[in-house]
Each structure stands twice: as C-alpha cells, then as structure tokens.
Amino acid sequence: MASIQKDKNGKWFCRVSYKKNGKYKTKTRKGFSTKKEAQVVAAELELQAENGFKIQTEDIIFADYFQEWVEQYKIDTGLSTITENKYLYNVQLVRDFFKQTKLVELTRLDYQRFLNHRGKDKGKDVVSKTHYALKGCLKLALADGLITKDPTYGAQLNHEHDYSSKTKFWSEQEAQQLNQYFLSNCEIKHVMLYIALNTGMRIGEVFALGKNDITRMNITSPVERINTPLEQLNNLPINYIVLYRNTNSNINKQLLIIYS
C-alpha cells in the first residue's frame, strides 16, 4: 500500500509498505516537486514489491540507487546528524539533476556535467565531497555488475571559487566585514553565525541554543551553561533577538545550505 505526503520543506514523498519473510517493511522515495511525480514512483514501487523487488538491472534509476546506498551505508551508522543531512542533500541534488536517468545510461560526460553544475558558486572542497560520495556508490554498483564502466573515471573537480571549507580562522579585517554583513542582513542563519563569530561558541553549541536562551541581557549556552554578556556581541540588535525567538527551533536544516 502506498502513502503520498508532503514534507515540511514542501517536497512530496511516497512510502510503500510490503511484506517480506512475514514482516512488514517500507520503501521510501523523497524529493518530488509534484504529487503526480510521487504517485508515478509509488506505482512503480508497488509493482516492484509484488515482484519481490527483483528489478531488472537496466531499469534501476540512478537517483534511486544512490538514495538506497546512502540509506544503507550512511544513515544511522554513527555519523553526526549534520553529516547525514549532507548525504541526504546530495541525494536531492542527484535527483534534481539526473531525474529519471537509469543507472546503466549514466556516462562520464553526464557525470562531468553534474560536477560542473555542482561547482557553480562553490569551492573545490564542496565539489570534492559530493564527488567522493557518488564515487563510493558507483564503485559498489560496478563491483555488483550493475554497470560495466565507472562514470566517475577521469572526472575533473571544476569549481568557481578557491575557498575551502577547511579554513579555520579569519583575519581581523575579514571578521569585521562579516560582522557588518550579518548586521545588515537580518536572517536567522546570520543570527547564528553572528553569535558564533562574536562569542567563540562552537557550532554545535550554537545549534543547541533554544528560543529562551537569548534575552536582552545574556546569551546562555545550554551545553555548558555559560552566560555570555551581550556587550561581547556589540549589542545584538533587538530585531535579531525577536527574529530568533520567533523562529522554529530546528536550526540544522536552515543552516544546511551554508555547509553543503
């Protein structure tokens, strides 16, 4: 039986329940822009379930295979929530770019186009992480005989920026420029980064801040219960405080794009 629903990000997903060895299991496919797309995939999953999910090699959708690889090898395997979300974000990128491209149809040229697209407005580090995730997935497909050639062979990690996510510090001038930018652009992601920049709080501590941890007088870290006077934040504007306290507490997904 198939269930079609919309997630909190506005994307449609389908979930199909089936029985295997006397136990009920589910298959889920996410990230569809329309309900119709989700219904079509749900119908395909139901047909596959009737056949015991014995799919012909030539019928495997690349995005579905990558999602299955991520779910089996990267989710609930001890990785941090942020890292898991990065893998899931890559699944969405693959699905948006390749759509219904079959695994056996994937060429090195197709793959290079995807990397070039990924590298727009990004640094080498970002492209590299996406590439090696997909390379691991396709290496398994090659080992299992699902494909006969490696589409990632000879891939070039083209990118538009030279910055790296491995940068660990900013110069004083850069920090001042960032502060001014954050103050001029009142968005929830800028609130969080402004706090991290001016307090020295670790990113995990900033993520853990709750709605009531920011007051007119202090910012309190729920991790270590350390009070940070607001004068250290150059008088955090009241509109920042109001914005933060009226924002959903799930900050991780709102900041995901910054680290993707």
Judged against a pLDDT cut of 70, whether residue 223 lies above it is answered with no
* Cβ contacts of 175 within 8 Å, gap of 6 or more: 197
- H or E element that contains 8: none
Least reliable range by pLDDT among 88-92, 142-146, 215-219? 215-219
Judged against a pLDDT cut of 60, whether residue 26 lies above it is answered with yes
- What tokens were used for 135? 């390379």
- What tokens were used for 134? 């997909």
Which of 6-10, 160-164, 189-193, 221-225 has the highest mean predicted lDDT (pLDDT)? 6-10
pLDDT the model gives residue 252: 40
Tell how far CA 256 is from the center of its chain: 6
Query: pTM of this prediction?
Result: 0.51
What's the CA gap between 112 and 89, in Å, rounded?
A: 19
The chain-wide mean pLDDT, for the chain, equals 76
**What is the tens place of the pLDDT at every residue in 182-214?**
777 766 667 777 777 777 777 667 666 665 565
Counting residues of the chain whose pLDDT is more than 90, the rounded percentage is 29
pLDDT the model gives residue 137: 95
What's the CA gap between 86 and 259, in Å, rounded?
A: 8
